[in-house]
Structure formats: C-alpha cells, structure tokens
Homo-oligomer: A and B are copies of this chain.
Amino acid sequence: MDKTAYLDAARRHCESRGCRLTELRQQVLELVLEHPGVVKAYQVLADLQRQRGAAAPPTVYRALDFLVEQGLLHKVDALNGFILCHHFDCPHDGLILVCERCGGVEELDATGCLSSLTDAMGKVGFTPRAQNLVLTGTCRSCQA
C-alpha cells in the first residue's frame, strides 16, 4: 500500500469510527510514516516545527494519542516511542517485535500463541483487555 492509499484508508477508518482525521492529525501521521520503525514524540515535534513553525508538546502528544486511540499507531512503552500499525482495519491480536539496535519493527500473528497465557491469567481471575503485545529484543539481521 503506498502512502496516499494508506492515508485514505486511515481517513476512512477514523470516519467510520465517528472521528475526523484532521489536517494536523494527518500531518503527524505522515511524519510518523516518514520514519522506519520507532518514532519519538519529540522527533515528531521537531519535524512539525520545521513544517509549520511554532508547535508545542501538547499539540503533538494530542495528535499521537488520537492516532493510538484509533489504532493507527501503537505506543511502545519500553522505548517511549510510537510505531505504525499496518493492520488497523482488521482486528488482530498482534505481537509486535521492536529491534533495540536498528529500530526495525516486525509484526507477528500471535493468534494461537496466547492461549496458555490466557489460561494462566484465568486461573487467578484476571480478564485481559484486548491489546497488542509489544516486545523489544534483537532482530535477525542485528544478531551480534
């Protein structure tokens, strides 16, 4: 999917959820799109300032939070960063692997891999919220 098609799909995705992909939000999404792998909020902020002059942290954090809310991005807590989700339109129990060395992102289908985890949680009465697992580590090409 090329960039334009992706943005179109993202717009339709938001509208189908009763939200608007405003110009600012799209601009932030495009900035994330420019980067491979993990993007940091303050990197986006710097990019945004280069494009439209003054901009403050809340501007970019609000846009990023919105995009995460819509499922267009995932937050990677361990790295204080964000990554694109390429499957926002189909519900997926994804397993997202982030390489600590090259910043590359890989997505696995974890369906069928989570049953034992779910069982373990069920034994203590814990009900997990649907969410994506994000793990950090080292990818194949970065193995020492």
Which A residues contact B (CB, under 8 angstroms)? Answer: 77-78, 95, 97, 99-100, 106, 108, 110, 112-117, 119-121, 124-129, 131, 133-141, 143
Contacts and interface: CB of A to CB of B under 8 A. Distances in A.
Nearest to A78: B77
B131 A133 contact: no
Contact of A116 (B100, B112, B137): B112
A128 B121 contact: no
Contact of A121 (B115, B126, B137, B141): B137
A75 to B, nearest CB: 9
Contact of A129 (B108, B129, B137): B137
A136 B77 CA distance: 12
